[in-house]
Amino acid sequence: MPIPEPRRLTSVVLAALGGLATDAAFPGLGWWPLALVGVALLFLALGRDSARWNTLVGTVYGLCFFLPHILWAEYAVGAVPWVALSVLEAGFVGLLGAGWSWARRGAAIWWRARWQVPAFAVLWVGMEELRSVWPFGGFPWGRLAFSQADSPLARWAWAGGVPLLSLLVVGGGVLVALAVLALRRLDLGAASGALLLVAVVVGSGLLVPLDTRDEVGRLAVGAVQGNVPNRGLDSFSQQREVLENHVAGTYALAQQEGAGALDVVLWPENGSDIDPRVDADAAELVTGAARAVGAPVLVGTLEYPADGGRYNVTLLWDPETGPGPVYAKQRPAPFAEYIPFRDVARRFSDAVDRVRTDMLPGTEPAVLDVPVERLGRDVRLGVGICFEVAYDRIIRESVQRGAELLVIPTNNATFGLTDESTQQLAMSRIRAIEHGRATVQISTVGVSALITPNGRVLDETELFTAATLTDDLALRTTLTPATRYGDVLTWTLRVLAVVVVASGAAGAMRTRREHGRTPDRPARPAARRASAARSGAR
């Protein structure tokens, strides 16, 4: 069943509305069903056969999604970087439009609506995977899966991670579009069947088993959101003030819970940008706080190696012995934590000079071992610093290496009162489900939260307030299917995306060569047969 060709203006309007609807599915509005609506609108907008036109249509959708979705980038670094990043990411959706133009020319996809559902979904996931790894390590923000933290579909992350969840959302969206097309033909049977399938797909998540029980004990966790002055990038200049805020929060935990009641205290990224390993005053402050609470403290700080650069690290600080294991962030954010092509970038925005020292990537796995006297053993934590929560491999590898609980230390101070922090919280919730691990997102300014292994938020903080969180969180060792086989599924979908486009293009070329026509433009002698086939497909 060929997709009816919309008028050019109609296709652009549909794409724009689709991008806006998709953004509304994410926090802050969080109307998750609109992700399916947004995909449906894009699918309908891509009804014309021209690859060049569909590239434009996809780009329009991408701009209308990314510009509002990452508006926090404008707050943090200015209009030019925000627009540039939005245009770059929108280009990937434009590439999806071109790819779909080629893929749908294959006879199987062209004539059979049922094949359009998985084909378009596979292409979408392929597009998300590409922009998640390239350029400069990729930018996985805004993947459709991250809009579904409150949806029954979210539970499918347990089975196949973010790629499978995005695949199901897109499949549901295409079914919505096919229902709309059926209604246009007054085919109520086909329309109701497609919508019933959407309900089945969404509701199927309720059948996915999610175990939240502790398997190897529970960890008494305290988390400190010390707060930072709301001064945008100038927040980084208040290092001593920020450190003292987190020290004060730790003393508050000691008074509230009593010394020795907690197994570990978690500080956020940049909780102390003064490295206590090299600054005696900072070391005294951190040690005093750790001794008061009677537990090791996970400190977010910066490390400056002698040969230049800097590392963004999470450091375990023991109340008696001081500095211990360290994890260094593997994926520094380009143009925010380091500046590629600095001389070129400066021509577009002088904000690049705010980053005086480029951040270096860490090389060790994202795990830290915390000695827990009450349990008589070390507890392994998986750590993803800030944006690393969006990267599949980093979090998956930490759990494969034995992480029993996930910690996402982050610093959202530079993003003000935007939706960046709640978008990140949605990602942390999806990761909790994906790997079956209790998760703590701890921010300098919020939103911080304690999350159960099934993605439920136990407690969370407000933005730009000093706060503490405590609870006994389940420790788990069972590996979910997504943890075990996520890499296999990811690569399978990547390969399938290439195969779908290549087979469609090859099929169209073969048909043109053999019969002098493409599936969408039959030659005159075959016109009657093609018309009959269309009628039958409908």
**Gap between the Cα atoms of 224 and 251, Å rounded:** 10
| H-helix segments, 104-226 | 107-111, 113-133, 157-184, 188-203
89 annotated active-site: no
**Assigned token pair, 384:** 């993803």
Q: Which of 89, 128, 386, 388 is catalytic?
A: 386
DSSP three-state, residue 232: helix
User: Which residue out of 329, 337, 404, 420 is catalytically annotated?
Assistant: 329
Strands 264-266 and 218-225: parallel
Q: Show Cβ contacts of residue 514 under 8 Å, excluding neighbours closer than 6 positions.
A: none
Cα distances (angstroms) measured from residue 107 to each of 115, 121, 219, 506, 507: 10, 18, 57, 10, 7
Active site residue 269: yes
Catalytic: which of 269, 337, 388, 434?
269
The tokens describing 232, both together, are 């945008």
* Omega within 30 of 0 (cis) for the link into 447: yes
Computed over its alpha carbons, how large is the radius of gyration of the chain? 25
Distance (Å, rounded) from C-alpha 177 to C-alpha 183?
10
CA distance 164 to 201: 12
Long-range (24+ apart) CB contacts under 8 A made by 371-380 are 371/296, 371/318, 372/219, 372/263, 372/264, 374/220, 374/263, 375/217, 375/263, 379/219, 379/263, 379/264, 379/404, 379/405, 379/475, 380/404
Q: Catalytic: 386?
A: yes
How many helices (H) and strands (E) the chain has is answered by: 16, 12
Q: Is 227 left (phi over 0), alpha (psi -120 to 50) or beta?
A: left
- Between the alpha carbon of residue 372 and those of residues 106, 254, 260, 285, 520, the distances in Å are 59, 17, 11, 22, 66
**Residues 217/165, Cβ–Cβ less than 8 Å:** no
Q: Among all residues, which ones are annotated catalytic?
A: 269, 329, 386
